Structure 1
Amino acid sequence: MKDNFSSQSKLYAKFRPHYPAALYDHVYSKVKSFQTAWDCGTGNGQVASVLSDKFDQVIASDISKNQLAQAQQKSNIEYIVSPAEHTSIEGSSVDLITVAQALHWFDVPAFIKETQRVASKDAVLAYWGYGLLSISAEVDPIIKEFHDDAMNGYWDPERYILTNEYKAIDLDLADLELKYFKHEVKWSLADLEGYLNTWSSVRKYIERNNTNLVNDIIDKLRDKWQGGTITFPLFVYTGTIKN
């Protein structure tokens, strides 16, 4: 699994979007037992923190020590540095596995085996991601051009698995269901700048060219920026793990 986010872990913790209560409620509606959840690829632990309010115990894993260092500490969350495909989690012990905006980095066949190993009877796997943000009719084309054209060649190939809403991934789940949500947030132009600087493509562009095109985009948007609501489109899959 690639680690593209350790270098900007503080930015990631501050500016990456969270997920709406409606998404969590939908996931919880599929779960039969709320003893143990595993948030896989937890990053800075934002999902694990929410799960900890519902589950007795949460295990949150990531390959990045820097990301985990930004995570909120709670008595019922255990953070472990571990790849998704091979963990120290006890077999047949997990009632819910979540993967937020991370599945495209996994070795899928190995991850399937690990989910089946750790899953309790009727355990649920929920995995989701979000698409390109929407701001306004004036701003959206500029952000899209930056994403599609200016950053072309700087995205990892796995990025396109995500932008295709994981349609190419089969995790061998029963009763698979896909639903759509949206996350809305009030952002300033500085917030948008911070978020764009978390993109892995931006970090690669800086490393190769010793300049940051985000600065140019923000300058271009100053006259067009009117604030308001930022919308992230979300998709979430849920299914029962076969074991």
Structure 2
Amino acid sequence: MSDAFDDHFSGHAADYARFRPTYPDALFDAITAPCRALDLVWDCGTGNGQAAIALARRAKRVIATDASAEQIKHALPHARVEYHVAPAANVSIADNTVDLVTVAQALHWFDLDRFYPEARRVLRPGGVIAVWTYSLFHVPEGDAEASAINPVLRRYYEDVVGPYWPPERRHIETGYQSLPFPFDEIEAPEVELRMDWTLAETVGYLRTWSASQRYRAEREADPIAEIEEDLRRAWGEADRVRTLRWPAPLRIGRT
């Protein structure tokens, strides 16, 4: 079977690294707590290495892999992180050597019939696997302009670029509950991502969406143009910093 994959992000890997929300310490506290050791972590589908860097602050060594060479090229360096271009189902890690496998916002892209056996192969007995995702963000209700901004964001997500989302997006909508997870599941806490962004940073993030990129490629136009005026009006001053939130469903299991 081929290890080819649909690469939705290499064409804008630099922007992807610049305009992505970061993960809170609470998330990494939750996924490392069940681990019996943290000698070696495998961060699969690492993208720009954001999760790998956070894990390196807790683990002795992190191997971070991604099938996209362009993503690895733009990954963040760290002394305890080794980056490799490799598909999720075929990684050069010895059997029974990994304490924790992590997949951040990437599980829906994997061939799970091949990835899960690979994860089991590299994990030590009793090793932990943690996967998480995040979907549409919002301005919390405490913000006076939330009722104006959130409908514009949802219209962009559902109507403007909605037809351009790949079918795997449905698994993000269910918080990965629609995907098999053949491990002894551990109860996971509710986690939320938070960022304080200006309008420009928010728009930069919207442009990194795979659906935004497909819209641009197919229609040779910027999808932001369809909401730009309404979003600017709702946001107010462009340099106004607003708090944005993403629910981040988390699943943790043990071999």
**TM-score where L is the length of structure 1:** 0.96
Secondary structure at 2:189 match in 1: strand
Secondary structure at 1:35 match in 2: coil
Secondary structure at 1:205 match in 2: helix
Counterpart Cα distance in 2 of 1:155 and 1:77:
32
Counterpart Cα distance in 1 of 2:76 and 2:157:
31
**Map 1:137-156 → 2, pairs under 5 A:** 137-156=147-166
Q: How many residues align?
A: 241
**Map 1:121-160 → 2, pairs under 5 A:** 121-135=125-139, 136-160=146-170
What is the letter of the counterpart of residue 229 of structure 1? T
- Give the aligned partner of residue 33 of structure 2: 29
- Give the aligned partner of residue 120 of structure 1: 124
Counterpart Cα distance in 1 of 2:190 and 2:116:
23
- Give the aligned partner of residue 66 of structure 1: 70
- Give, in angstroms, the shift of residue 198 of structure 1: 0.3
- Give, in angstroms, the shift of residue 42 of structure 1: 0.0
Counterpart Cα distance in 2 of 1:215 and 1:159:
23
- Give the aligned partner of residue 230 of structure 1: 244
**Map 1:47-196 → 2, pairs under 5 A:** 47-135=51-139, 136-196=146-206
- Give, in angstroms, the shift of residue 94 of structure 1: 0.4
Structure 1 runs, 4 residues or longer, greater than 4 Å off: none
More moved, 72-81 vs 194-203: 72-81
Aligned-pair Cα RMSD in Å: 1.1
What is the letter of the counterpart of residue 214 of structure 1? I
Q: Against the structure 1 CA distance between its residues 170 and 176, is the aligned structure 2 distance closer, same or farther, given a 3 Å change threshold?
A: farther
Q: How big is each residue's C-alpha offset from its partner over 1:98-129, in whole Å with a ceiling of 9 and x where there is no partner?
A: 00000000001111110110001211000001
- Give, in angstroms, the shift of residue 170 of structure 1: 1.5
Structure 1 gaps, min length 5: none
Identity %: 36
- Give, in angstroms, the shift of residue 75 of structure 1: 2.1
Counterpart Cα distance in 2 of 1:197 and 1:29:
35
Counterpart Cα distance in 2 of 1:237 and 1:175:
7
- Give, in angstroms, the shift of residue 76 of structure 1: 1.7
Q: How big is each residue's C-alpha offset from its partner over 1:134-178, in whole Å with a ceiling of 9 and x where there is no partner?
A: 012211111111111122321100011111111111221013434
Secondary structure at 1:26 match in 2: helix
Structure 2 gaps, min length 5: 140-145
What is the letter of the counterpart of residue 102 of structure 1? A
Counterpart Cα distance in 2 of 1:122 and 1:17:
31
Aligned 8 A contact 1:59 1:77 in 2 = yes
What is the letter of the counterpart of residue 12 of structure 1? Y
Counterpart Cα distance in 2 of 1:152 and 1:71:
28
More moved, 171-180 vs 43-52: 171-180
Verify: 1:219 aligned to 2:215, yes or no.
no
What is the letter of the counterpart of residue 177 of structure 1? E
Counterpart Cα distance in 2 of 1:20 and 1:28:
13
Aligned 8 A contact 1:189 1:218 in 2 = no
- Give the aligned partner of residue 240 of structure 1: 254
What is the letter of the counterpart of residue 141 of structure 1? P
Q: How big is each residue's C-alpha offset from its partner over 1:160-216, in whole Å with a ceiling of 9 and x where there is no partner?
A: 111111111122101343432111111100001100000101111111111012133
